[in-house]
Structure 1
Amino acid sequence: MRLLMCSAAMACIALTAPQAVQAQDLGSNFKRDKNVSVRQRPRPDYEATGQKAGGFTLYPRITADVERNDNIYAVAAGKDSDTIWRVKPEVAVRSNWSRHALGLFAGGNIIRYSDNSSENAEEYTVSANGRLDIERGSNLTGSVQTQRLVEPRTAPTSPTASGKPVKYDLTQGTVSYVKEFNRLRVTGRLDDKDFNYKDVPNVAGTSIVDQDFRDRNEFYYGAKAEYAVSPDTALYLSATGNKKDYDSKAAATNRTSDGYVVGVGANFDVSELVRGDVQVGYMSQSYDNPAFAKIDGFNAIGRLEWFPTQLTTVGLNGSRTIEESTAPGSPGYVSNNLGASIDHELMRNVLLSAAYTHGKDNYKGIDRDDKRDNFSATATYLLNRRVGLFLTYNYLKQDSSGAAKGASFKDNKVIASVALQF
């Protein structure tokens, strides 16, 4: 399905690289499609038809944004505001085969500031993914992707002394195998990510703010076993290990580590009202550098969807994870997040959305805690299957405390977008 839908956080088309979805099995005990959210609901009059090319369909589209941001450098005092322009050309390719699947995607993001040209940047993404249907209930999927990205000034890892936003390359690949045995489904997965950060000049332009210490490879391997206690509920065990290998072996910046997450959970679609996936467990990350102590503790991740009516979807989500740090003396931090969202279909082609997230990051090895509150609201107007208009307001507040505290700031932005697809 290709709809001119808008993300509540980004005011852009909510369809990015085509995903290799499992072939639908009408007899599966693991389908979770009893309820349909506002975002998932088919809208045939607003779906792109695409351009046929043999056994494939091409979906070209372009999005143009104009943003007004009152704190582009994410600082507490001496704020600078600016108007930001973005143009995002994209093309997705999807196979039309009855078995197996192949998808390709290429997209860019040209970013221009009206008054602060040092913030200008370009991003791109190129990816491919596929699915091999081996037999009923069994398939092998894979994907590869390379990106040039720009780290937001509001990111916890963004250096405050940089005169330009940090650019980095991310190359990643994933392989996943799924096998279903009636009430039992097992999944194995491998993920590889390679990060390459670019140095930036300092604010004065007199020296370089080194970012090479962040370069690393992350490798994840995991398995999951699910048992369907009924056609609409499954319980599962999950285990994922990781190896994070940093290029820098300097004593102060070597964050090479090994870790794992084990958990138990359930996914369900138990009535006409509720759908979700909740997991709790234990996480641990051990570092090669003797200066950094192990980080471990309670782990959780979950999402719930409530459907009070067919026109309204309410979402709840939460997580507790270990993340990588760039703060001197800290190997990482425990990130805690709770959020809620609501989507309402005012008319078939008019959608209203809002989301709120509260986060708290507890840094290990240093005295620092960050708290974040993020609110966004979006109005979406789909004119027809080719044109969509979006208006988004976003508010972000970060408070950092402790002897090694980071940046504290407030940021408001309004984004107006128009999306064209064919």
Structure 2
Amino acid sequence: MRRAVPPAVAASLGLFAADQAGAQTAVETPVADPFFRQRGQAVRDRPQPAYDAVGLKVGGFTLWPRLQSAAVFDDNVFAAPTAPRAATTLRLTPDVTARSDWGRHQIQGYVRLDFDRNLNVSRESATDWRLGGAGRLDIAQGAHLTLALDLEHGHEARTAVGTDPLTVRPVAFDGVSARLAGRRTRGRLRLDASAEVQRRDYDDGADAAGALVKQDDRDRTTLTLTGRAAYALSPATAVYLQVAADDRDYRRVPSRPDRTSTGRETLTGVDFELGGLIRGDIALGHRRQTFDDPRFADLDGLGGRGRVTWFPTALTTVSVAAERAVADTGVVGAAGARRTDLCFSVDHELLRNLILSGRTAHVEDAYIGRDRTDRRFSAGLTADYRLNRRQGLTADLNWIDQASVGAAPGPRYRALWLILAAVARF
């Protein structure tokens, strides 16, 4: 069962980066490229030849198999406001990524399984899976197309943002997403366009009394179209205009409000790099979300996102990120939430084979159609110790404190969990 923190594994469509730590390879990009932003290298992105997995060569492909076994100690397994119950979960996570080694074009695929067995509360056990692939077609110098497809079956974590723990078992869902994107770079001008379709279907659950907890009104299909034009002012700075539109088509349920909406967002931004010291991408603009159901007021206001990464030394990376957007939610009676997300993280390479990380985040969800605002603070510490190329150990400590205010407040709770894991990779 996935936790809200740390984040779930990234989809394969994200820049074709292999999911395994040892699967990362340095990309030779000409420094003359005005959009090249890798002069400063993050601690977790830097290759470590003595400890990175080399993978298995199979024809024109390289495979990176990986197996993680973990014990999860949770002091509030139900995310309950009172009388928290502690539990221990054993987790086994095998996954493999395959990527082509061709000089032009590229194909990548991955598959991942998550087997969770709770030793104290059997109904909290779950089996999830995720698989997908992506391909890049190099049309000409500076022009390519990418196509990606991802499938998944998962369970919603009790601590997931925007959910109420009403069911006796975690809510299961199935998802599929497809994305087509293109890029054209010519001199100082770069054009990007993408179209993405996501489908999410939730299974109904049951409450403690055995009554059915319907989830049909959460089923949705989302179409997102994005266009971006960037112009490089210098080899280290570019300005851009980004326009996005989305259509969120929810299943109509007679007894519940219709959550269907359309959104428009226009952002102007700048991405930059100050030598090898600071790298950033900041954009601000206007966001509007219009709902089909007249009971929900339209959202009209500030939108934006940004991320700044600082490299004070070669061994330390500091990142700050913020985003303001409209989020889907599982809260009954709400069409969505205006979300403000702030996070801060630090990675430090204490030893060549030991990386320590700390992070904090604050998420505020102001729900649409319901007088409720959730405020969540989270913090975490991680230690990754690599014994050699094939074995490693990980310790991950996470804490969440959620509060809720308004006429119809949600649950308030605190949760602390510790993950101790051993990793084998090739």
TM bracket, shorter-chain basis = over 0.9
RMSD: 1.9
- The 1:87/1:11 distance shift into structure 2, 3 A limit, reads farther
Which has the higher mean CA deviation after the structures are superposed, 282-291 or 249-258? 249-258
- The 1:24/1:212 distance shift into structure 2, 3 A limit, reads farther
CA shift digits 1:290-345 (9 cap, x unpaired): 11111121011111111111111111011111112333432221111111110001
C-alpha deviation, 1:249, in angstroms: 4.7
CA contact (8 A) 1:18 1:105 kept: no
> 1:261 aligned to 2:265?
yes
Structure 2 unaligned residues grouped into runs of 5+: 18-26
C-alpha deviation, 1:271, in angstroms: 2.2
C-alpha deviation, 1:157, in angstroms: 3.2
Partner amino acid for 2:108? G
C-alpha deviation, 1:65, in angstroms: 1.2
Match of 2:88 in 1: 83
Match of 1:345 in 2: 349
Match of 2:23 in 1: none
Which of 269, 272, 279 aligns to 2:276? It is 272
Structure 1 unaligned residues grouped into runs of 5+: 1-7
> 1:374 aligned to 2:378?
yes
C-alpha deviation, 1:64, in angstroms: 0.8
> 1:294 aligned to 2:298?
yes
CA shift digits 1:135-194 (9 cap, x unpaired): 111000110000001111012333332010001011001111000010000000001000
Match of 1:313 in 2: 317
Match of 2:143 in 1: 138
- The 1:347/1:125 distance shift into structure 2, 3 A limit, reads same
Match of 1:327 in 2: 331
> 1:246 aligned to 2:254?
no
- Which whole-Å CA distance do the structure 2 matches of 1:133 and 1:45 have between them? 32
CA contact (8 A) 1:133 1:140 kept: yes
> 1:113 aligned to 2:118?
yes
CA shift digits 1:235-289 (9 cap, x unpaired): 0000000011112253633111111111000111122311011111111110111
> 1:420 aligned to 2:409?
no
Partner amino acid for 2:258? N
Which has the higher mean CA deviation after the structures are superposed, 98-107 or 269-278? 269-278
SS in 2 for 1:248: coil
Matches within 5 A, 1:16-95: 17=12, 19-21=14-16, 25-26=29-30, 27-95=32-100
CA contact (8 A) 1:38 1:343 kept: yes
- Which whole-Å CA distance do the structure 1 matches of 2:110 and 2:292 have between them? 38
Q: How many residues align?
A: 414
- Which whole-Å CA distance do the structure 2 matches of 1:343 and 1:327 have between them? 34
Which has the higher mean CA deviation after the structures are superposed, 386-395 or 151-160? 151-160
SS in 2 for 1:305: strand
- The 1:90/1:273 distance shift into structure 2, 3 A limit, reads same
CA shift digits 1:181-236 (9 cap, x unpaired): 100000000010000000112123x2211111110100000100000000111000
- Which whole-Å CA distance do the structure 2 matches of 1:173 and 1:17 have between them? 11
Match of 2:20 in 1: none
Match of 1:4 in 2: none
> 1:225 aligned to 2:235?
no
CA shift digits 1:18-72 (9 cap, x unpaired): 7554986524210101100111111011111111111111111111110110001
CA contact (8 A) 1:20 1:141 kept: no
CA shift digits 1:66-92 (9 cap, x unpaired): 011000100110211100111001111
- The 1:79/1:401 distance shift into structure 2, 3 A limit, reads same
CA contact (8 A) 2:217 2:252 kept: yes
- Which whole-Å CA distance do the structure 2 matches of 1:166 and 1:387 have between them? 34
Partner amino acid for 2:232? A
SS in 2 for 1:46: coil
SS in 1 for 2:274: coil
- Which whole-Å CA distance do the structure 1 matches of 2:56 and 2:257 have between them? 50
Matches within 5 A, 1:134-173: 134-173=139-178
Which of 377, 392, 395 aligns to 2:396? It is 392
Q: Which has the higher contact order (CA 8 A, sep 6+)?
A: 1
SS in 2 for 1:132: strand
- The 1:11/1:66 distance shift into structure 2, 3 A limit, reads farther
Match of 1:5 in 2: none
Partner amino acid for 2:235? P
TM-score calculated relative to the size of structure 2: 0.93
- Which whole-Å CA distance do the structure 2 matches of 1:69 and 1:171 have between them? 30
- Which whole-Å CA distance do the structure 2 matches of 1:29 and 1:245 have between them? 39
- Which whole-Å CA distance do the structure 1 matches of 2:353 and 2:11 have between them? 20
SS in 2 for 1:44: coil
- Which whole-Å CA distance do the structure 2 matches of 1:324 and 1:15 have between them? 19
- Which whole-Å CA distance do the structure 2 matches of 1:160 and 1:190 have between them? 34
